[in-house]
């Protein structure tokens, strides 16, 4: 979760210029929105990990079944993000993209949020797999 926190925090800050909020809102509002999004990212990350572990994890995870758990984490994270982006950016217009945001052509949702839920969870899962166990050996 520490890797997830750091990864999502960095990603949220780096992609800020791709949202209109960055250009239109006062710095305080941008900071509050960024923290709000980071909190949501951590809630999503926790939820999809627990769901994946319940469905595919074993007691000795991540040394076993890491691939199945990772596939489910990515599937759930990308699915939720796709729905959230479509719901908030297209239907409810809670947020908007700048012209610089690359879009998924058939959905008109931002690509960088989808990449976020591919790259950051993979890094976090790799970190979990490489974390030494209590016996001092790698969890691989």
Number of structural domains the chain divides into = 1
- Structural domain includes residue 139: no
Given this model, what pLDDT does residue 135 score? 46
- Structural domain includes residue 82: yes
- Structural domain includes residue 137: no
| pTM as predicted | 0.88
In this prediction, residue 132 has a pLDDT band, given cuts at 50, 70 and 90, of: low
Domain that holds residue 94: 2-130
- Structural domain includes residue 138: no
- Structural domain includes residue 92: yes
What's the mean pLDDT in 31-58?
95
- Give the Å distances, CA to CA, from 27 to 16, 36, 88, 132, 136: 12, 14, 22, 40, 45
- Residue 13: pLDDT over 80: yes
- Structural domain includes residue 21: yes
Q: Collapsing DSSP states into helix, strand and coil, what is residue 16?
A: helix
Given this model, what pLDDT does residue 29 score? 97
- Structural domain includes residue 29: yes
Given this model, what pLDDT does residue 47 score? 97
């Amino acid at each position: 979760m520490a890797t997830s926190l750091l990864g999502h925090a960095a990603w949220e800050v780096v992609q800020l210029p791709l949202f209109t909020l960055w250009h239109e809102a006062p710095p305080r509002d941008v900071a509050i929105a960024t923290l709000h999004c980071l909190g949501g990212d951590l809630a999503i990350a926790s939820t999809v990990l627990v769901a994946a572990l319940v469905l595919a994890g074993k007691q000795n995870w991540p040394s076993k079944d890491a691939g199945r758990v990772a596939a489910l984490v990515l599937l759930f994270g990308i699915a939720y993000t796709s729905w959230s982006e479509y719901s908030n950016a297209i239907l409810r217009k809670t947020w908007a993209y700048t012209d610089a945001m690359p879009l998924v052509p058939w959905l008109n949702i931002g690509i960088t949020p989808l990449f976020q839920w591919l790259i950051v969870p993979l890094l976090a899962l790799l970190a979990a797999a490489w974390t030494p166990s209590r016996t001092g050996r790698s969890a691989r």
